[in-house]
Amino acid sequence: MTITQNIKIAVDAIVFGYANNNINVLLIKQKFGELKNQWALVGGFVKDDERLNDAVNRELNEEAGIKVNYLEQLYTYGDDINRDPRFRVVSVAYFALVNSTKLVLTADSDAEDAKWFPIGNLPPLAFDHREIITTAHNRLKSKLTYQPIGFDLLPEEFLFSDLENLYCTILEKEIDRRNFRKKTLSFGIIEETVNFSPKKNGRPAKLFKFNKQKYNELFKGGFLFEIKFA
Q: What is the pLDDT of residue 102?
A: 85
* C-alpha neighbours within 13 Å on the C-beta side of residue 109: 19
- pLDDT value at 105 more than 90: yes
Q: What is the pLDDT of residue 218?
A: 83
Domain 8-142 and domain 145-221 have a common topology: no
Q: What is the pLDDT of residue 190?
A: 92
pLDDT by residue (tens digit) across 114-147?
999 999 999 999 999 999 999 999 999 988 877 7
**pTM to 2 decimals?**
0.90
Q: Give percent of the chain above pLDDT 90.
A: 64
Q: What is the pLDDT of residue 200?
A: 61
Pairwise CA distance, residues 55 & 39, whole Å: 20
Mean pLDDT of the chain: 91
- Domain boundaries along the sequence of the chain: 8-142, 145-221
Average pLDDT of 144-167? 88
Q: Give percent of the chain above pLDDT 70.
A: 98
Q: Which of 54-63, 80-89, 98-107, 199-208 has the lowest mean pLDDT?
A: 199-208
Domain 8-142 has CATH 1.20.1250.20: no
pLDDT by residue (tens digit) across 68-82?
987 899 999 999 998
Domain 145-221 has CATH 1.10.10.10: yes
- pLDDT value at 49 more than 90: yes
Strand bridging mode 111-118 / 157-158: unpaired
**Are 187 and 225 spatial neighbours (Cβ–Cβ below 8 Å)?**
yes
Cα torsion 11, 134, 118, 100: sign? negative
Report which of 46, 98, 52, 93 is spatially closest to residue 74, judged by C-alpha positions: 93
Average pLDDT of 186-209? 86
Average pLDDT of 185-194? 92
